[in-house]
Structure 1
């Protein structure tokens, strides 16, 4: 590999000190215009760029933010990641994406992130078990953690999330006004869905309206295939007269898979025979093939807040933001 030019070589070529070279590439640093011109000309001739890794040793900041994701099957993750990485980069930060899976769990990922000296960690997924993370005794100097798009169940770790209580109240009010009285709820994997709190709010708000019998069943994971399989099992096992008249799914991907199964395999009409509701407002929800009623999270605002916390402009505290109910033909 070709050897990189060093700050010392640029300094010699420009006839200045090494520290003048460093100041020339440090935003806001005090340096004479003529000295800066000489440095930049010499740097261009030598194809020199600053070594950010070396600079991080002096500044105690790597300008890297680790983002942990564990449910890539959910395509709604992509718009969030696009917005998040764009805002981080606008702040001069770089996102380090870490895939949480059976071979690389959260504990390994956190230790890995700590060793790389990232400035912060964003937990962006569903399978973050508080009892596991709380066992890690991170001390002084370890990166702060934040949760994005779900509740934090980890003491001392703030979250930026959509207001699930407000969202589910609006959804249940809408369904009740439309005349539905036999509600059902499909979760993702039961052990993972508790942090979203959508199922509990859904059940509680129906109870306030005098409807205590809410059918609840689970998909194995957050995917269209899992949603189809879960509703298939429910419809096969349930007498038509006892079936729900509206099915709320924990996210849109489950809802889209459920709708395909309800209509294509069982020949039922949506919403006449069974209404369906999702959560997230994924792009396909608005297509004529689905026209799915759903709830849109305030993605841009949530990202803006978490980036503000990471950069120090905002206090590190849990923030819940209101979303928007999007009513379409599926209800």
Structure 2
């Protein structure tokens, strides 16, 4: 491989000091327009680009952010990741995506990110428990951590979330007004479900309306297949007269899988035989094939806030933002 040109070589060719070369590539640095033009022209001729890793040794900042994700079967992750990576890159930060699932040790992954000297870690949909993040191996020198799109119960780890309490109140009010009285709830992965609090608020608001008996369907993961499997088990084990009249699914991909199974294998009509509600406003759910009632998270606002916290423009504290109910034909 051809050796890269160095700042020293550019400085010698341009007839300036090495520090003038560094200032030319540093946004906001004090340098005359003539000197900057001379340096940039020489750098282009020598095919020189600054070594950001070397510069990080002096600035103590690598401008790298690690994003931890585990539930890749959930397609709603992609719009969030697109928005998140776009905003981080626009802020001059490089994203390091780390796959965390049952096959990888979470503490090891955190230590690995720290060894890469990332400036921050974003926990996005990952099943971290308090005891994991307070492991004795994780010292005080760890980079700051932030949680995106789920609650954080850990001191010193702020979260940016959609207001689950407000969301579920809006959903339950809508379903009650439509005359539904036998609700059910489909959860996703157990740890993540606890962090999302959607089931908890769903039960609380139905209880306020005098409905305490809520059927619970459990999916092992966030995927269409898991949603289909969970509703299949429920329908096979429940008499038609005893079934729920509306099923709230913890997210849209579970709802889509459940709806496909109900209509395809059992011939049930939505919403006449059973209404369906999702969460996230995944694009496919809005198609005529599903017309899924759902709740849309304020994705862009959430991402802007968490990027602002990482860059220091916004105070690092837990923030809960309202979304909006999207009513369609499934209810």
TM range (shorter): over 0.9
Q: Is contact 2:150-2:161 (8 Å) kept?
A: yes
Give the equivalent residue in structure 2 for 1:229: 229
Task: Report how far residue 75 of structure 1 moved.
Answer: 0.5
Say whether residues 1:288 and 2:280 are aligned partners. no
Say whether residues 1:58 and 2:53 are aligned partners. no
Name the SS for the 2:289 alignment partner.
Answer: coil
Name the SS for the 1:62 alignment partner.
Answer: coil
Q: Which moved more, 1:27-36 or 1:109-118?
A: 27-36
Q: Is contact 1:172-1:205 (8 Å) kept?
A: yes
Aligned 1:167-178 pairs, distance under 5 A: 167-178=167-178
Cα distance between partner residues in 2 of 1:126 and 1:224: 19
What root-mean-square deviation, in Å, do the aligned CA atoms of Structure 1 and Structure 2 show? 1.0
Give the equivalent residue in structure 2 for 1:213: 213
**Residues 281 and 136 of structure 1: CA distance in aligned 2, closer, same or farther (over 3 Å):** farther
Aligned 1:239-258 pairs, distance under 5 A: 239-258=239-258
Task: Report how far residue 32 of structure 1 moved.
Answer: 2.1
Cα distance between partner residues in 1 of 2:263 and 2:146: 40
| Aligned length in residues | 331
Give the equivalent residue in structure 1 for 2:33: 33
Q: Summarize deviations over 1:269-308 as a string: whole Å, max 9, x none.
A: 1000000000000001110000000000000000011011
Cα distance between partner residues in 2 of 1:44 and 1:192: 50
In the superposition, the TM-score normalised over structure 2's length comes to 0.98
Q: Summarize deviations over 1:169-206 as a string: whole Å, max 9, x none.
A: 00000000000000000001223310000001001110
Unaligned runs of 5+ in 1: none
Cα distance between partner residues in 2 of 1:64 and 1:32: 30
Aligned 1:111-150 pairs, distance under 5 A: 111-136=111-136, 138-150=138-150
Aligned 1:24-103 pairs, distance under 5 A: 24-103=24-103
Say whether residues 1:307 and 2:307 are aligned partners. yes
Q: Summarize deviations over 1:17-44 as a string: whole Å, max 9, x none.
A: 1111111111111112222222112111
Cα distance between partner residues in 1 of 2:240 and 2:103: 43
Cα distance between partner residues in 2 of 1:254 and 1:136: 37
Aligned 1:152-231 pairs, distance under 5 A: 152-231=152-231
Say whether residues 1:16 and 2:24 are aligned partners. no
